[in-house]
Structure formats: C-alpha cells, structure tokens
Chain A
Amino acid sequence: MSQIDTKAPQGHIEVNNFALSYETLDGSVAAVTDTEIHVKPGEFVSIVGPSGCGKSTLLNAVAGFLTPTKGTVTVDGELVKGPSAERGMVFQQYSLFPWKTVRENVEFGLKMRGMARSQRERAARTLLGLAGLEAFEKHYPDRLSGGMKQRVGIVRALATGPKVLLLDEPFGALDAQTRVIMQQILTNMWQRLKISVLFVTHDIDEAIFLSDRIYCMTARPGWIKAEIAIPLERPRQQSMMMSSEFLALRRGLMSLIREESLKAMGGEISDLGMQGLNIELHGHSLADVI
C-alpha cells in the first residue's frame, strides 16, 4: 500500500472522439456517440444518465472489454487494448468468485501476477483489515451481506494497486442505509489511495456526494450533455447532503436527468419543470448556471 502512496500521480484517463455501435440485422445501432471525457490523476469522476444510455458501455470500453468503433481510450497516454489489472473494476453484481474464500478472492489479482502465496496472504490480510473484514477472511461469499460482498469487491480490485478504479453502479443492489455507508467507505479509501476513479451511477445524490466532477449523459445514443464540477469541500460528510449548495446541484442535475429519462421512455418533453435547463452546458459548470 505504501508503494502506491509514494508513486507519482498516475491514472490519467482520456476518451477522445469516442463512438461505439453494435451491429444488428437492421444495421448498426449507436450506443455512444461523440464522447470526450477525461479523468485527471487522483480525480473522482462520475457518469450519470438514464438507464440504457450507454454509460456502462463507456465504462466497459475504458476497462478494455469493448473496442470503440471510433476514437480512442488512453490511460497515461497508453492506448487501451484489452482488460488489465492496471484498471481495477467493481461490478454491480459483486462478481466475487463463489468458490473462493474472501481472502482468496482478494488474493486473486496478486496470484495472477505470480506473487508467492505467503506474501499475497499477508497483503490480502492487510487490505481486509483496512476494510474491516479480517474476521471474514475464511468465509465464502454467499455467507456475506451485500454490503460486505461489495467491500470485498472493492478491496479485490484495489489489491493489485491499479492506476484507476472503474465502478459500474457498484451500490445499485444495496439498500439505502448500506449504500450511504458504502459511499463513505469508498471516499475514505479513495482519499487514502489518491487513485483516479470513474464511477457510473444513476443515483444523483451518490454522484454529487462522491465526485469532483460529473458527466451527464443523454439517452441512447449516449453522449455527454453536460459536465458539472462539484465544488463541495473534502472530506465530505453525510451532513453536507442537506446543504443548500448540495441541494442546488441536485436540483440542476435532476432536471437534466429527468429530461433524458423521459426521452429514453419515449415520453413528450414538457416545457414545465425543465425551466430552461436543457441548454447546452458542455464545458460549463452547472453550478455557474443556477
């Protein structure tokens, strides 16, 4: 862990001129078009948007699971060609290996790297201790609660010391109380590790609470409609969610998202409720507008 702390800032994600489409019998269907995003080293960036807007597609392209139809994805100037341990990923479905104990799950990435058993056992124990899970190291995942499973998932993704952490709606399956606790744990971990994070969610509160910046995506085909800086100070506390600053950001984002959700559902966009917020915001901070 100390090794990660002393490293020069790394994990600069750049997605340039990005488009991704699927081939179907009716021709190609665009999932994501004309997208430019970047994450600076150590920055926490979220992508929000209605479900099916292609935000997960974008994240999977950064992870290396999907190849862009157009454009490039680079991390620290290196083109992403496939999945790698440099880009840790956390999935909504936890995706822990059911046949491995908690500790073996955390060890997995280190094992793949060829680390000796005793060494990786020690490393895994240390990490589990940090996440408050040392008592469960010998448990199999199906004995854990959802929150614990996802903590293991995050710890597992961090164990190899990745440059960036990608999270695909990681708390989507958790109950509201657990989710709040997990958000706090994630920000604490992030602040300690100074790792770049790209976080996909449809939960606006979650995005504002966690992020330095938020990209707001449109309904399919997805593109970045707005980019919002979150000037809330750090460390963030749950109490901030009641502050007027937070609520103003929330209101702004909410109307952006609602408009897109309506579009995604094929509904009519009413003028009411939008209050002129469907203006082109890209490049500007929403906090400046409202």
Chain B
Amino acid sequence: MSIPAVARQQPEDETRVAAAKPVSTVEPAYQPIAIGTFAARWFRLNKGRIRAILIGAASLVVFLVVWHFLTKYRVVFFVRFTNVPSPLAVHESLTKAIHDPKFLMHILLSCRRILLGFSMAALVAVPLGLLMGRFKLIHEVIFPVAEVLRPIPAIAWVPMAIMLWPTNEQSIVFITFLGSFFPILVNTLHGMSLVDPVLVRAARCLGARETSIFREVYFPASLPHIFTGLTVGMGVAWVSLIAAEMISGQYGIGYFTWEAYSLVQYADIALGMIAIGVLGLTSRLLIRAAGRLVMPWGRA
C-alpha cells in the first residue's frame, strides 16, 4: 500500500501528526532518506490505522473467547446457551461445508438472487430518481405512490409476490428488488435536490444544453448520494432476501439457516449466520470500491 493512498484517507490525522512534530518530520528534502527513517515515518503517519487494526483484531479474538466459554459451560443467565454451538463446532461444520457442493450452491443461489434483484432495482431506481429530481411533473406523479408503498417492508410483500409471480424464484428476486429499490430511489432524489444551482448556471453559460447538463452536472453531482443509496439498498436487499428465503425458499443461505434449525443441526445455524454476515460485508465493500472507481474526485 502506498503512502499517498493511506494519507489521503486521513488528511486530518496526517496534518495533525505533521504539525505536532515539526522538528522530527521536517527534514531537508535533499538528504537521501534511509530505509529506516522511511519506515519510521511511515509508521508515524499510519499510527492511527495500525492502532485501529490491532484493537479490532483483539476485540474479535475476545469475542470468540467469550463465545467459546459461554457455550463450553452452557451458561444460562436470562439467555440460554445450552444448545448454542461453540466456535469450534462451527469451525468443524465450516470445513465440512466447504467441500459440500450443496452448501456452495445455497450461497451461489443467494448471490444470484441478490445480483438480479439489486441490479434491477439500481437500474430502475437511479434513472427514475434522476428524472424525478429533474422534472417536476414526473416527481408530482410518482412521488405520492412511492411514499405510500415505501413504508411497507419488503417481507410484507411475500404473499403478494407469490400471487404475482409464477415461480418461487421470481417472487424471491422481486422481494429483493423491492427491498433495495426505495433506499436507492430516495437517496438519488436527495442527491438531485442538493445539486448546486451555481454549477448548473455555470454549465449553462458555457453553452450546455439540457441533456448535457443532465449528463455533465446533475448525474455526477448526485453520484455520492446514489452510492449511499446503493450501500443502504444492498443492506436491505440482504435482509429482504434472507427473510424471503426463510419463508418461501427451497434454496439459498437463508433457507440453509432455517433448515439447519428444523434438522437440529445447530452448528449450521451459526455457520449460515456467519456466511450471511460475510456476504453482506463483501457486497458492501464491493460497492464502496465501485464508488471510488467511479468518483476519483472524492476523498472518501
């Protein structure tokens, strides 16, 4: 990892460190920098990050140890750990599951549903939000309907979805779509409402016409909020998917978790939960990476 990339993420920390120790950091630039000095400087500039990583790792270890002892001694204190699997048991079922094509299929199917539902939601909600933000009439027509439908949780759509769509698979994807649709729409709209009118005026007096202004000003100006919407939407998509899979699914990681309970394979419950967590985290990181790629001007 290069230093500029790291320093860019924490401009405040960097300047504070540099300002606090002017004597030690400001050295004549023409002197060749020894490797040792370089390493020391790198360490000093990234102290905050290193610290955060170390503490984070330690806290995860503590979590595992506490979990281990709670299950080992089957603690009953308001909550009952009698049947809760231990970390070791979960690890064991993980090693088994990794070689089990069925487990991988559950995961792949869930990912496919997320990919379909989420990307369709993004493909509809982002353009719709942009148009609603730009054209009053479209906003006036669509906004009331959206406001009525928005508070309905995607899970509440399950019976309706089963009636609407011919196959189970389609109705699950539809639920996922609904879950992510509204966060994306609302954030895109919010981004559009915050576009600096001076930038629009600047584009106008540089000869930009309506479509150019849309493409060159409104869209890039809204992108940070669109990506917020995508991140939130992805989270809700997983929530909706898992719930839908538990209720009406035959496959998928949500179904796997619920099935494990029915089949009294308690370690698999935790395994399913952890898999869901890892998948959710990974998809969020992917969106963030995409955001950085699309918005190189941002500091985030």
A residues lining the B interface (CB < 8 Å): 63-65, 82-85, 87-89, 91, 93, 95, 97-100, 108-109, 112-113, 140, 142, 156-157, 160
Contacts and interface: CB of A to CB of B under 8 A. Distances in A.
Contact of B199 (A87, A88, A89, A95): A95
Given A99-B221, A99-B223, A65 B204 contact: yes
Nearest to B201: A65
A85 B201 contact: no
A91 B297 contact: no
A100 B220 CA distance: 9
Interface of B: 196, 198-199, 201-209, 212, 216-217, 220-221, 223, 295-297, 299
Given A65-B204, A65-B205, A108-B206, 20 more contacts: A83-B201, A83-B204, A85-B207, A88-B206, A89-B202, A91-B198, A91-B201, A93-B196, A97-B202, A97-B203, A97-B217, A97-B220, A98-B297, A99-B295, A100-B297, A109-B206, A109-B207, A112-B203, A112-B206, A142-B299
A93 B216 contact: no
Chain A CB within 10 A, most for which of B203, B205, B208, B295: B205
Given A112-B212, A142-B297, A142-B299, A95 B207 contact: no
A108 B200 CA distance: 13
Contact of B198 (A87, A95, A108, A113): A95
Nearest to B200: A95
Contacts of B221: 99
Contacts of B216: 97, 108
Nearest to B217: A97
9 A-B pairs closest in CB distance: A85-B207, A109-B206, A99-B220, A83-B204, A112-B207, A95-B202, A83-B205, A140-B297, A89-B205
Contacts of B299: 142
A215 to B, nearest CB: 21
Nearest to A98: B297
Contacts, number: 66
A258 to B, nearest CB: 30
Give the secondary structure class of A's interface. Answer: loop
B297 A160 contact: no
A108 B297 contact: no
A113 B212 CA distance: 11
A85 B206 contact: yes
B113 to A, nearest CB: 33
A249 B223 CA distance: 50
Nearest to B207: A85
A63 B205 contact: yes
Contacts of B295: 99
Contact of B201 (A84, A95, A100, A156): A95
Contacts of B196: 93, 95
A85 B208 CA distance: 8
Contacts of A91: 198, 201-202
Given A97-B220, A108-B216, A142-B297, A84 B207 contact: yes
A93 B220 contact: no
Contact of B205 (A87, A99, A100, A140): A87
Chain B CB within 10 A, most for which of A88, A109, A142: A109
Nearest to B202: A95
A80 to B, nearest CB: 11
B118 to A, nearest CB: 25
Given A97-B220, A99-B223, A142-B297, A112 B208 contact: yes
Nearest to B198: A95
B220 A160 contact: no
Contacts of A160: 206-207
A63 B205 CA distance: 7
Contacts of B212: 112
8 contacts: A65-B204, A89-B205, A95-B198, A95-B201, A112-B206, A112-B207, A112-B212, A156-B206
A163 B199 CA distance: 21
A112 B217 CA distance: 12
A142 B198 CA distance: 16
Contacts of B207: 84-85, 109, 112-113, 160
A97 to B, nearest CB: 6
Contacts of A100: 297
Contacts of A85: 205-207
A200 B205 CA distance: 17
Chain A CB within 10 A, most for which of B206, B217, B221, B297: B206
A113 B221 CA distance: 22
Contacts of B205: 63-65, 83-85, 87-89, 157
B117 to A, nearest CB: 29
Contacts of A93: 196, 198
